[in-house]
């Protein structure tokens, strides 16, 4: 089948490449000609393991191409996916400007009747609104069907998730449309859930809101554990064996980030408010997460007597999670400016996200892709991203390179017994501190 994908961000690019991999002819459209040129040269504009190889393979097969011309990408398309961004507005609601622009481009350039599939995360009711917008501007004789097909991809493992996910959700206005999309997705060999359009739109928001709630819950438990001398990892393990709860997303840390959880949680609160419902639970989830992101700053100030002035701090990790260069809602964006404001000298390590960081973090800091350089002569280190290099480093390296081996671990990377053996002063989340008086 001939498919067009509008938008080549995380969702659009991965979707287009994956659909070409299972046999469809896919044209990916983006309004940025420089981005299209880069992609046409076989260079992905995002970092995602396995994406480049799959992209090059299908470009070579003639099943995947990139264009900035909607007339070219939409020509003779049977199905059009909208996969543009829906950034957060100041009030927390989703900005649909890019979705609306894509809808108008579809209306002005399609050459036959098509199914328009909204892959972007949009509020309930958006599909019907977009269908009306397209039909108002589409030439007579061309019919447009609308459908919702939300994505459930994790950055850093998006290619894997596309082929090994839990389910595919299709919300359609009629059975024929649902069956067509089910056939397109059949080669992914995942359970396919067919719903009405509104339910499909809500499934995406409800799923992310629930996972965000689970993360904030275990972080609150972690904070209580610290006061009581309990170990949140043992607590989470005991909870996770209950099949009604499960072990996933019960890992305490410095909060969630990324392009989905923060934006979708805020959007769902706003959506509920628009329909006269106060989503108090989700408001609390957001509040807990905002506090969690600066928790390590409080720990550092306590340890250093209320001041960080002149302290050389190694920040380990900038991306919001490993295996991505995405800094959206990363704790680094909150913590690093605060450290600079408090007078600390900051040197930041990340293997792939530095260029993105330089565009978003104000104030003078040093950057390095070498973990050892970051640690050299540091007075303290703070782990923001649990990169493999960080998790597997020999703990003796901290003692060898740092002025003082004081570590604030926002991702609970190390076993407490190993830390104790290495004689590191260690502060983590929801677990007993390994401070000098406790080590001796």
Supply the pLDDT for residue 440: 39
Structure tokens at 197: 């359009």
- What's the pLDDT tens digit per position in 117-157? 999 999 999 999 999 999 999 988 899 999 999 999 988 89
The CATH code of the domain at 204-290 is: 1.10.1040.10
d(CA 158, CA 253): 22
Residue 243: CB atoms within 10 Å: 6
Q: Range with the lowest mean pLDDT among 89-93, 200-204, 273-277, 281-285?
A: 89-93
Helix (H), strand (E), coil (C) string for the chain: CEEEEECCCHHHHHHHHHHHHCCCEEEEECCCHHHHHHHHCCCCCCCCCCHHHHHHHHHHCCCEEEECCHHHHHCCCCEEEECCCCCECCCCCECCHHHHHHHHHHHHHCCCCEEEEECCCCCCCHHHHHHHHHHHHCCCCCCEEEEECCCCCCCCCHHHHHHHCCCEEEEECCHHHHHHHHHHHHHHCCCEEEECHHHHHHHHHHHHHHHHHHHHHHHHHHHHHHHHCCCHHHHHHHHHCCCCCCCCCCCCCCCCCCCCHHHHHHHHHHHHHHCCCCCHHHHHHHHHHHHHCCHHHHHHHHHCCCCCCCCEEEEECCCCCCCCCCCCCCHHHHHHHHHHHCCCEEEEECCCCHHHHHHHCCCCCEEECCHHHHHCCCCEEEECCCCHHHHCCCCHHHHHHCCCCEEEECCCCCCHHHHHHHCCEEECCCCCCECHHHHC
Q: Is the pLDDT of residue 9 over 80?
A: yes
Backbone angles phi and psi of 118, in degrees to 5 = -90, 110
Residue 121: CB atoms within 10 Å: 22
Supply the pLDDT for residue 439: 45
pLDDT, averaged across the chain: 94
Supply the pLDDT for residue 437: 58
Catalytic positions are: 260
Supply the pLDDT for residue 436: 63
User: What residues are paired with 312 via a beta bridge?
Assistant: 345
Q: What residues does CATH 3.40.50.720 cover in the chain?
A: 2-195, 293-439
| Residue 46 CA from chain centroid, whole number | 12
- What's the pLDDT tens digit per position in 370-392? 999 999 999 999 999 999 999 99
Picking from 91, 74, 53, the residue whose alpha carbon sits closest to that of residue 269 is: 91
Picking from 321, 49, 87, 32, the residue whose alpha carbon sits closest to that of residue 17 is: 49
Supply the pLDDT for residue 259: 78
Residue 417: partners with Cβ closer than 8 Å, 6 or more residues away: none
Q: Say which CATH topology domain 2-195 has.
A: Rossmann fold (3.40.50)
Supply the pLDDT for residue 92: 84
Supply the pLDDT for residue 88: 86
Percent of the chain with pLDDT over 90: 90
Q: Say which CATH topology domain 293-439 has.
A: Rossmann fold (3.40.50)
Percent of the chain with pLDDT over 70: 99
Q: What residues does CATH 1.10.1040.10 cover in the chain?
A: 204-290
Q: Token match 């393979």: residue?
A: 57
Q: Is the overall model pTM greater than 0.85, yes or no?
A: yes
Q: What would the mean pLDDT of 396-417 be, rounded to a whole number?
A: 97
**Of 66 and 293, more confident:** 66
Supply the pLDDT for residue 155: 86
């Amino acid at each position: 089948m001939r498919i067009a994908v509008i938008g080549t961000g995380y969702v659009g690019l991965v979707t287009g490449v994956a659909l070409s991999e299972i046999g469809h002819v896919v044209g990916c459209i983006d309004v940025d000609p420089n981005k299209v040129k880069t992609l046409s040269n076989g260079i992905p504009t995002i970092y995602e393991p396995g994406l480049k190889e799959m992209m090059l393979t299908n470009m070579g097969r003639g099943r995947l191409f990139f264009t900035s011309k909607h007339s070219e990408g939409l020509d003779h398309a049977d199905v059009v996916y909208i996969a543009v961004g829906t950034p957060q507005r100041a009030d927390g609601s989703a900005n649909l400007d890019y979705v609306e622009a894509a809808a108008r481009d579809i209306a002005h350039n399609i050459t036959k009747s098509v199914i328009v599939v909204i892959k972007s995360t949009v509020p309930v009711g958006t599909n019907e609104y977009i269908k009306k917008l397209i039909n108002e501007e589409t030439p007579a004789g061309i019919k447009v069907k609308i459908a919702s097909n939300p994505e459930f991809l994790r950055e850093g493992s998006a290619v894997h998730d596309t082929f090994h996910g839990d389910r595919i959700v299709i919300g359609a206005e009629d059975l024929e449309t649902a069956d067509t999309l089910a056939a397109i997705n059949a080669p992914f060999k995942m359970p396919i859930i067919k719903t009405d359009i509104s339910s499909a739109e809500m499934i995406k928001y409800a799923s992310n809101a629930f996972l965000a709630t689970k993360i904030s819950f275990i972080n609150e438990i972690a904070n209580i554990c610290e006061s009581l001398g309990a170990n949140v990892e043992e607590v989470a393990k005991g909870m996770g064996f209950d099949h009604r709860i499960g072990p996933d997303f019960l890992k305490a840390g410095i909060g969630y980030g990324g392009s989905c959880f923060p934006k979708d949680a805020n959007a769902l609160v706003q959506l509920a408010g628009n329909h006269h419902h106060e989503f108090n639970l989700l408001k609390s989830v957001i509040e807990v997460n905002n506090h969690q992101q600066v928790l390590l700053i409080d720990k550092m100030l306590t340890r250093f007597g209320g001041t960080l002035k002149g302290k050389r701090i190694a920040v380990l990790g900038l991306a919001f999670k490993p295996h991505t260069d995405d800094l959206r809602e990363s704790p680094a964006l909150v913590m690093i400016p605060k450290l600079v404001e408090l007078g600390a000298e900051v040197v930041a390590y990340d293997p792939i996200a530095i260029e993105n960081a330089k565009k978003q973090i104000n104030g003078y800091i040093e950057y390095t892709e070498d973990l050892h350089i970051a640690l050299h002569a540091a007075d303290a280190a703070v782990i923001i991203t649990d990169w493999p290099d960080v998790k597997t480093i020999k703990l003796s390296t901290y003692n060898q390179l740092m002025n003082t081996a004081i570590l604030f671990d926002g991702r609970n990377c190390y076993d407490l017994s190993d830390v104790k053996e290495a004689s590191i002063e260690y502060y983590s989340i929801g677990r007993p501190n390994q401070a000098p008086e406790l080590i001796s």
